[in-house]
Structure 1
Amino acid sequence: MNDLTYPQPQQSIDRDALKAWRISGLISATVYTVILGLLLFLTLRFEWPSWIFAVALAAAGTGAYVETVLFPELRWKHFRYDIHEHEIDLLFGMFIRRRVLIPMVKVQHVDTKQGPLLRRYGLATVTFSTAAGSHEIPALNEATAERVRNRIAVLARITDEEI
């Protein structure tokens, strides 16, 4: 883009990301449940005050809700990206909104990655590195992730050759 105004990025991540992130939240909730079971045992065994268990139960319930319902929806809703000829435009953040423009000339490496949950839903995350750090576009469907990765690689290479 040649002018100094940038429209908001429009591309969103795949809606199936919600399923993967919710399952991840359920895994965390399972860990919370095991810890609560251990805490309940210790509370009964050593006659600790019951408020300790009640506070832990409330914290675990809140954490499970946030990780399985609230954060996945907010994360999906608030992540947008666009790939332009000269930069990558990212807009993200649930409470603190961040807008990051990464010049293609700064991109040193681009890759895709998949964990077991993303693979289960046919999703992949595109990661790209600059000297200043690493960025990612999470949870794209595999075909889109491959196209995005290849486009960034080509544009970064072209821009690098123009210098």
Structure 2
Amino acid sequence: MKRISPKAIKLWRIREYINAGVWLIIAAAIGIAQIFFDWLPSWLFLIPAAAAIYIVIVHAWIIPKLRYKYFRYKVLEDEIRIHSGIWFKSEKAVPLYRVQNIDTTVGPIMKRMNLKGISLQTSAEKLYIPELETDKADRLRHDIRNLINKNMSKQQNEGML
């Protein structure tokens, strides 16, 4: 089983810091509003501040390491296997002949960190292999596409016999 890029931990942390920053802005806005509106409870700003602290401790420090530790993928000759989950483990095996579409995703932070994600669409579900190095993601996408084409031509040849 292969792992995703170790840079994924840093990316996930940056995303959560941005999320925590939004909650801190909300806490500051409530604190400023309390100066002008006496009817607002004095403890109200503590709710978004506590949310920001929770996000930094749990979602920015603990969960990214665990997500990285427990995410694995493997591309076989005829299927793709993805193992994921921290508390609730999930193992998905998708036959390559079911894959209808392969996309890569790149956000602005991912682009700066030279990362890409791969989305695999079947008729029933969408699978995502997150945060691979750009060249590795492109190569994996190309390899999956070649395996799909190889399996399709193999099935067509067997159907003709």
TM superposition score normalised by structure 2:
0.89
Which residues in structure 2 correspond to 1:112-123 (within 5 Å)?
112-123=104-115
Q: Is the 8 A contact 2:23 2:48 kept in 1?
A: no
Deviations 1:25-69 (A, max 9, x none): 111121111111111122332232223222332222112322321
Larger radius of gyration: 2
126, 148, 153: which one pairs with 1:156?
148
Structure 2 unpaired stretches of 5+: 156-161
Pairs aligned (count): 154
Match of 1:128 among 120, 123, 131: 120
Q: Secondary structure at the match of 2:13?
A: helix
Deviation at 1:161, TM superposition (A): 2.3
**Gaps spanning 5+ residues in structure 1: where?**
1-9
How far apart, CA to CA, are the structure 2 residues paired with 1:124 and 1:144?
9
Question: What SS does structure 2 have at the residue aligned with 1:52?
Answer: coil
User: Does the alignment pair 1:98 with 2:98?
Assistant: no
Residue 82 (structure 1) shift: 0.4
Q: TM-score, normalised by structure 1?
A: 0.88
Identity of aligned residues (%): 32
Residue in 1 aligned with 2:41?
49
